[in-house]
Each structure stands twice: as C-alpha cells, then as structure tokens.
Structure 1
Amino acid sequence: MNKLKNKVLLGLLFGVLLMGCKEGNGGSGFVPETAIRKPTPPTVIKDGPFAHPGVLNSAAALDHIAQQVDRNDPTRTAAYKKVTDFIASKSYPNSFYAIVAVGSNGHTSPSKSQIRSDSELAYAYALKFAKTADLADANKCIGILNGWASTFKKYEIIDATDNVNQPALETSWTTPTFVAAAEIIRYYKPKGVSANWSATDIKQFSDYLSLVKTYIDKIPNYKNNWNVSAGYALMTIGIFQNNTSVYANGIATLKTVMPLVIGTDGTMPELCDRQDCVHYQYSLTGLTYAAEIASMQEDNSLYSALQNRISAGYDFTRKAYNRTTSCVVCSASSPMFPGIEVALKHYGTGNMQSLRDQQAPFGIPNDNTFLGFTSYTHFKI
C-alpha cells in the first residue's frame, strides 16, 4: 500500500513539474540555465571613494566601444582611426623637460609644445591599449607618464612679456589629459590584461600631480576659462589620488564660476570679450568634462546646475556658429571643441546634434589644450 501511495505521489509531482515547464516555456520543455540567467552587470572598479577609471571613460564604456570596432562598426571605426592616426603622426618622446617654459597669448617654447602634445599622446596610447589589450601600447603610455613624472621640476615663464600666472593655466590643461590616460592604465584590464603599472611608478605620478597642483592652487580669480580649467583639473587629481577634499574643491570652483561664464540666457561673454571662437569654448568644454566626471560618480549636479546652464551654453554656441550673436567671430570653419560629443551624450538636444554633425568625428583640439577623441569614446554610448 505504501509503495502504491508513493508511486501516485511521484506521478502527481512529475505531472505538476511537467505542466509548470510547459506553461513557462510555451510547451517546449525545460529552459536551459544559460537562457534564464540574468545578465552580469558591468564591473564597477572601486578604489577608495571613487569609481575607476573615473575620468571621462568608464570600464563598461571602454568595453563597448572596443567591441564595436571589433565588429567593424563603420562610425566607431572611423572615430577610432582618429586615435591611431594621431599616434602615427607623432614622434615618440625620448627625453623630457625638468623645466617647462610657458608663455601667454600664443607665446610658446619646445617644452610647452611637448608637454601639451605628450599628454594627448599618452591618452591616445591608453585608448589604444583599451582597444587592443596589447602591452606594447600600455608601455608606450606608461613611458610618457613616467617620463614626465620623474623629470619635471617646475614651470617658468618664457620672458617678462608673459603673464606670470600662465603656469597655472598650462598645468590645468595638461593635467586632466595625463590623468585620463593614467586612470585607464592603472585600473582598466581589456580582455583581462593588466598594464602592470608598478606601485612605485603610480606613487611617482601621484607625487607629480601634487607638485603641479601647487600651481593650480594659485590661479587668479579671473572669473573665466582659467578658473573653469582649474576646477576641472582639481577634480581629476582628486579622482586619481582618491582625495575627496581636492575633488570637492574642484566642484565648488566650477559651481562658483559657472554663472559668470554662462549667463541665464546662455550668453557667454568670453566670445565677444576675446573676439575669438576658442576661449569661450575652453569654459564650455571644461564644464562639460567636469560634469561628465561627476556623473560617472553618480552626481549630476553640474549637468543640472542653474537649470541646465551648460546646455544653454551650447544653445549660445549654435547661435555663434549661425553668426546671430552680438559679435560675429565664429564661422562654419571655426574649430568645434570635442566637448560637444560629451554634452550630446547627456542632453541630446537638437542644437547639440547639429553642432556635432558639423565636424565629427572629433580628434583633439588643434592647440592640445583639452583631451579629444570623444567621437570614439562618447558618441551614442
């Protein structure tokens, strides 16, 4: 009797299981485990208070764009070519300067030109490593980072005709680009491959950042692109050094200067004040990059600040390129800074789309002031 009861119970149980499987899978039987397993969320690398890499490029985004190039996506591949073409166009540095001489208003020197160009080259090699997982690319980037970190001692002005504060601006430009490269090399592992940047070298680079920060900290309150660049640079130093105080000082600087460089109607006085189509874009690009960095740390306060004031600045830029502002200095051939691609990713407005479509895909700015290649790293991410 017990055997019969057990058979009946087993039969009923099997029937229930079979019906459940048919109902849950359209009558096709059991569902393989791989078919019902939830997707693995993107890896978030945490080191201290920040997610890394934390300067414009996340690990998930770097994975995505590399896969698109591997699949021969034509838009992403064309943008990636900007990276490889830039590398091919540059001679790899075999020496570095202990003293970088800088000048204002276009006054330049070999050391000033090299450190600007080398920051972009280091970033290009970091992006290439993120795509190829080739340690040769990583080592090229590391060589530049280590070269400047171990050699640099100080900034000087070229001569008495230059603004004595120019070193503060110059390092506010090159530092974020170096840090963007360093964040990738330190934290990102394409296809599981580590760049193997040594702890000693990382410490040396961090010490370099502390040294150049002493210049950034002395930037005058010009209430223009200088202060924007300084705030943006401080944020990147804070990210790399996992220093929340330095990072917060950068954000505070930007929130203070934002309403001064972008009016409530989007007007950016630097366009007419400087009578060029470049300097006001320094402010807009620095604010955009900083807002994206903060957003990567789950803080959209810069993007949304003052009722999306950054977006209003791009509306003004559309007017500038349409030549409908009070001063007519921009034209269709005026360089568009690559921050537009990052802003479009966040805001997605029609004005931004039309501006982006004028000159994309983007490489780097002609003057090597702000990092580029945003068509590769940010378009439709």
Structure 2
Amino acid sequence: MHNLDKNITAFVKLGNFLIQFSDKENNKREGVEHNELFYDGFCHQLQLAREHNGWFTKDNLAFALGQWSRALSRENLTHWLSAYKTSPASSKRVAVIMAGNIPLVGFHDFMSVLLCGHSVIVKQSSNDRHLLPYLAKYLEYAEPSFKGKIAFTEDKLEEFDAVIATGSDNTSRYFEYYFSKKPNIIRKNRNSVAVITGKETEEQLAALGEDIFRYFGLGCRNVSKLFVPENYDFDPFFKAIYSFRDILEVQKYTNNYDYNKAVYLMSLFKLRENGFLMLKEDKNYSSPIATLFYETYSDSESLQKKLTEDSEKIQCVVASGFSDNEVAFGKTQKPELWDYADGVDTVEFLLKI
C-alpha cells in the first residue's frame, strides 16, 4: 500500500494524542507530539461539540475518544491491514457521507480511505461537525503527505470516483438513486439484539446495560431489542442494570422517557419499566430512546433461523454460546478495526475501485 508505514505512524500519533481526552476530565500528558499546537484547540472543539449536541455528553465523548485511542495502536493498525496484499492502482477521490448519531461515527471510513492511498471528501452530519476537521488538521501536521488529500464540504458532492454513505432507510433510497453510477457502499438503518437464555450471570446482565445505554442507545451497535425465553423473569435483568439509573440526569434522555411513556400509556400498551427504561413487547427491531423492545422465543434453532432471515436489519447479536459470530455482553461499543459495519469490508472495496 501507498506510503503505508508513514500513514500508519500518523494515525498512531493521533491515537497517542486522543488518550489525553479519554477520561471525563482532560489529562494533558508530557511527550505527546504536536500538543503545543493542538491540545488547547481540541479542548475547545469538545466544548463546542457538547454545546451543539446534547447527546454528546462529557462521558460519551471521553468513551468514544478512549476507544479510538485504544484502536489506533501500531499493533492494531498493522494487524488489520496485514490481511490485504494489494495496493490501489491509482489514487481516487472517495466521498464519505457520515451519520451523526454518535461521536466520530464516520471516522473508520475516513481513516480507511486515507490508509488505502486515496483522497477523501467528507460530508459531515450537522450533529457531529466539530471534531473530525480538527483531527484531520492534526493528521496533516503529523504526516504532510495528507495535505491536499482531505476535503470537507457542505455543498452538493461533485467530482468523486466512489462513495461510502451512511444514513437512514429513507436517505439510503436517495443515495442509491443518486450514486448508482459510481462504486458505492450504502448503509441503512440497523439495530443490535441480545439473546437471553435465563442462565446469564449478574455480571453479564450488568454488562448488557452498557450495550443498551452507551450513547443513549443511538448507535447501530446498541442493543435495542431482547429475545427472551417464554415466561422469562425480568427481575434479575432490572436489578443488574439499576446502576445505570444516573442516565436520568441527562435532560434529553428524561424528556424522551417521559414522552414515550405517556404515548404508550395513552395507547394502553402493556409496559414493564423500572423508572428509567421501558420494556415493550414488539416485533420491530428499532426501539425509541429509553425503550427496549422484546420478543419471546421457544427454542434457539427457530430463533437462529429468524435472525438469519432478518440479518439485513441486524448489526450485532449479543449472546453467550448462541451463535458463531455473537458479540460478548458489554462489548458492542468496543469494535475492533476489522469489525466492519454491516459486514461489508471497506478496505477491500477501496482497494478495488
């Protein structure tokens, strides 16, 4: 791959820079490259991100940056890219249209384009527009060959060779129409589910709380639905997730909880709830904020068949001993670099365009 070692080194430096912001209180460290130029400015961008988007709390920003600082180790980057033997025939211009549901949600696409030797044109979501341009400046400083290869636009996308677009089911129809003539990856709505057997430990159920509540459930890797055995007793589940009750301190979450509860009660839906999370029996996968859908199952074979049939709607299956590609409890928001969204290998796509 084109200048791969130099490019990996730039992202390793960025990972070392981001470690400083991986706790709720920023923690300036000695010996971090380019800190004198970028540290104070990034503190300011984090403040702007919080003010602009009420879902981007200090805790969730610190968590997201901590995950990226962990992912961007030389060992991780080298292991990830060592699986690919080819380099692109020529550098292309790749447009990346990003969602804005969780902080830096489009960073993996952005990084993949650059590491594959292409130029990136980024169209950000208005919900998450403060962090990435600043980190792009850091990368250009850490590796000058990135200069001229990173562009941000708010206008109509023009003059690009391929596109990676992430959006809702509605916007994906527009994307498919608009980008059909170019090589593309178009991602739609997906949700994650958890399969409960009734044999889970209290630690596993508590870890499931992380999969449900991290980023307030706004990510495609967040669990939005449970599959439980018939006559399942929800008491151990509610007891195990009680430690997440502080989520009510975030006004936007509380407002959604109160609103959705009122709607459900007026519609005479049967609910189970614990004061900060509602459980509603529902066939759908995508549940509103502060709500978790659930469905019962009688045997694991038929449930596996159902989840296979519905695989286009599902990002992760959280379970213990249920299927080969399950995600462990508490791990949905800690993907590895090689855990591709929707199971589509972005790097392979980028090396072939």
Same fold flag (TM > 0.5):
no
- Structure having the larger proportion of residues in strand: 2
Q: Structure 2-normalised TM-score?
A: 0.31
Q: Structure 1-normalised TM-score?
A: 0.30
